[in-house]
Structure formats: C-alpha cells, structure tokens
C-alpha cells in the first residue's frame, strides 16, 4: 500500500509538484496518489516529499511498504 491522501485534503496542490514519480494528481474531490507510481520517495529522497509539504497533514504514514517493495517499484519506474 502506498501513501494515501485523506478527505482532509484542502486541494491546495502543494504536494503534486513535489512528487518525483508524478504519482499525485487532482481527483474528483481531492488529490489522489497512484499506488502503482508511489515509492514514498525511496530512491529519490530520504523523506516523502508530499508528507513534508502538506499544510494540513492529510497524508498519514500509516501502513508503510517495505524498502524492498518500494525500491523494486522505483527500479521499474526508472528502469
């Protein structure tokens, strides 16, 4: 499971340009994260950039995928 954006999102758009994988897009009601593209910034940054810039903390770090899964996804995306 990748990061997700909760319904507390205020649609400010701060997260979208920060995603190195273009996994964040504007959804019908609020921004969404594509789980097939999200690597929680592994391979790019030490911290999830969307979490760092969100002004309302609507991207919880709840269920975090293993580094192996995230790095395999990163390799697939950049391979």
CA dihedral 46, 38, 1, 70 (to 10 degrees): -50
> Which helix (H) or strand (E) is 74 found in, with range?
helix 67-78
pLDDT at 65 over 80: no
**For the chain, which residues make up each domain, given as ranges?**
16-78
Extended strands (E) in the chain? 24-26, 31-33
Q: What is the pLDDT of residues 37-47, one digit of tens each?
A: 999 999 999 99
The pLDDT score that the predictor gives to residue 1 is 62
Tokens of 74: 């990163």
Give yes or no for residue 63 having a pLDDT over 70. no
Q: Could you give the CA distance from residue 79 to residue 59 in angstroms, rounded to a whole number?
A: 27
Residue count (the chain) = 79
CATH topology of domain 16-78: Alpha-Beta Plaits (3.30.70)
Instruction: Note the pLDDT of residue 62.
Output: 65
Q: Is the pLDDT of residue 77 over 80?
A: yes
């Amino acid at each position: 499971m990748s990061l997700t954006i909760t319904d507390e999102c205020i649609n400010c758009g701060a997260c979208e340009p920060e995603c190195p994988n273009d996994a964040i897009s504007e959804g019908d009601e609020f921004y969404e994260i594509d789980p097939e593209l999200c690597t929680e910034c592994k391979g790019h940054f030490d911290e999830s950039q969307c979490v760092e810039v969100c002004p309302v903390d609507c991207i919880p770090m709840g269920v975090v995928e293993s580094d192996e899964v995230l790095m395999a996804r990163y390799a697939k995306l950049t391979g």
